[in-house]
Structure 1
Amino acid sequence: MHCWKTINVKKQYGFERLFLLSALIGVGVFISFYIALNIIYTAPLSDQHFLLFILATLGIYPLHKMCHFIPLFGCRKCIRLMLTKQMGLMPIITLKIAEPVAKKRFILTLVTPFFLINAAIIAASISMPAFSHYFAMLLAYHCGLCVPDLIYMRNLARSPKHALIEETDTGFEILVPQPMA
């Protein structure tokens, strides 16, 4: 195996640029989803259950990280969960994979939270239109969280078909089999 390419989105884009891109996408999703829901549902909005909204907002990030674990459930012995702090106070959960993973499985790992959590939020907003403003904010926040995953997925989609993905300190390495001489 040899390294075809190393991808490190945080180094390539920088934390500030990635944060700004995530925020802009989050705002765009909120505006689009909120307007669409207000066109479909004309019922008055309710501000009840604000505490549940705050708890859901705090719970989306750990739930997002746990959803990454679902496709990797078969190789849970090679996964480490690490907790670090960003800017001194914001806890960051990192999943480290110790062994190379097939490209298709790794892409599935990246997009699982996007599809599962966003589908649940959209379904909840349809079933409870009085709280659609809460769900629009949750969807926007989660889509902003998914931006780095989607950027990694876009980079991995261009890699060779039978590549393996290995996580290192420098980022994700795309490994391809060496041709026989």
Structure 2
Amino acid sequence: MHCWKTLNVQKQYGHDRIFIFSILFVFAVFSLVYISLNAFRHEPISDNLFSLFVLVLVLTYPIHKLIHFIPIARYRKNIRFSVERKAGILPVLNMQIREPIVKFRYMVSLVSPFIVINSIFIIGAISFPSFRHYFTFLLAYHSGLCLIDLLYAKHLFKTPKQALIEETEKGFQILIPYTKASTDLSA
């Protein structure tokens, strides 16, 4: 195996730029979905169940991380979990895989929270139109959380099919078997 490329989206785009993209993505998703839903639904909105909305909002991030874990659960012995605090108060859950993983499985792990959770929020907004504003906000918030995952998936999509992904301190290393064909790919 040899390293085809090292990928670190945080370093490539910068933390501040990713944060701004994420905020813009949140506003764009909220605006687009809320306007679309209101074009077809004319029921009045309700502020009942606000405490349930706050609970789901708080649980969205841990559930997001859990769904990341499910496709790679078979590697659980080689996954290191840690919690660090951002800005002194916000807990950030980290998962680091200590062995190379197949590209397809890693990409499924990256995009599955986006597909699963956002589908639930969209179905909720359509099924319960009185609470469409809650579901739209949750959808937008979660889409903002998923932005960095989508950036990684975009870059990994362009890598060779037989690639393995390994997490290191420098970022993600894309490993490919050393063969004549892989020598041609890196040239």
Shift of 1:118: 0.5
Q: Deviations over 1:15-62 (max 9, x none)?
A: 111000001011000001101111111000001111111111111111
Deviations, residues 95-152 of structure 1 (Å, cap 9, x unaligned): 1101100010110010010000001111111111100000010000000000000000
2: distance between equivalents of 1:79 and 1:141? Answer: 27
Instruction: Tell whether 2:169 aligns with 1:169.
Output: yes
Aligned to 2:127: 127
2:36 partner letter: A
Q: Secondary structure at the match of 2:130?
A: helix
Q: Deviations over 1:44-102 (max 9, x none)?
A: 00011111111111111111011001111222111121100112221110111011000
Secondary structure (helix, strand or coil) at the match of 1:46 reads coil
Distance 1:123 1:78 in 2: 35
TM normalised by structure 1 equals 0.97
For residues 16 and 51 of structure 1, the distance between their equivalents in structure 2, rounded to whole angstroms, comes to 31
Work out the CA distance in 2 between the residues paired with 1:23 and 1:105.
28
State the shift of 1:169 in Å.
Answer: 0.9
Structure 2 residue 86 is the aligned partner of structure 1 residue 92: no
Matched positions, count: 181
Q: Which runs of 4+ in 1 moved over 3 A?
A: none
What 5-or-longer segments of structure 2 have no aligned partner?
Answer: none
Instruction: Report SS of the residue matched to 1:118.
Output: helix
Q: Which residue pairs with 1:10 in the alignment?
A: 10
Q: Secondary structure at the match of 2:94?
A: strand
Q: Which amino acid aligns with 2:121?
A: I
Question: Which structure 1 residue ranges, 5 or more long, are not aligned?
Answer: none
What's the % identity of the aligned pairs?
48
Compute the RMSD of aligned alpha carbons: 1.2
TM-score (norm 2): 0.94
